[in-house]
Amino acid sequence: MATLAASRESQVSNDDRFFLRAAIVMALTVAAGFSFQLAMGRSTFAAPPLVHAHALVFMGWVTLYVLQNVFAATGNTALHKRLGWIGSGWIFAMLILGCMVTVAMARRGQVPFFFRPLHFLVFDPVTLIAFAGLVIAAIRLRRKTDWHRRLQYCGMSLLTGPAFGRLLPMPLLKPLAFEATFAAVMIFPLVGMLADWRRTGAVHPAWKWGIGAMIGSLVLTEAITYSPVGTALYEYVTSGSPGASVAPLEFPAPPEGPLVTGRTATN
């Protein structure tokens, strides 16, 4: 019995180290992506208040995720639980602001030129819904730490997509820029599976559910985008706005002048 207990304690400790290190790598990936965008002159602080609110809330989640892994690794379960309940409400603000920013860009006709406007309108909300679903499932399974942390990890992996989208040469990846970004995102859960296999000789079943949800979001995005439902959604969202004159499934022409998140600095 003592040997089994020691083995389990060692496994938990190894998990703590892996998930903490992975959380830091994810946070650094996000910071690198947005810092690179700013350094290249493709982003500006002179953005609408909605964009700033969106950025603060999403960066707040990244901070929460890292702190949760710090508390778990250091055994501070009290703070971990308190912050966890804050995070459970935080995801709804992320859903609302994320969808609002996506709709605003589609209505302004300012979707990045390496995305089809309708595709962009669909994949952002679907990705956020998949993220929220994984996090909610993780919260419901919070007493099963092994499931909890792996589902959270998969959810956080989805949020690194925009960062990879700023690090990868997106114009060169057209017409599969979104799919290429998704492939980059999948590196994180695949590393998680490999880490499990190296430590225990087996892959935890939570990865299969987490990765299944991630791939499901990709399939759902493609299905909606190239269906009458997607076309009707785009027409409804852009009705009465400049975006209505933009063909939903055609790539916009690259803007002239300095690029600022896919549009000219004067737009």
Q: What would the pLDDT profile of 33-67 be if each residue is shown by its tens digit? A: 988 877 666 666 667 888 889 999 999 999 999 99
Output the pLDDT for position 1: 44
Q: Tell me what pLDDT residue 265 has.
A: 39
Looking at residues 4-10, what average pLDDT do you find?
Answer: 43
**Residues ≥6 apart with Cβ < 8 Å to 14:** 199
- As a whole number of angstroms, the distance between CA 183 and CA 186 comes to 5
User: Taking the C-alpha atoms of 37, 165, 100 and 83 in order, what is their torsion angle to the nearest 10 degrees?
Assistant: -90
Which pTM does this prediction carry? 0.89
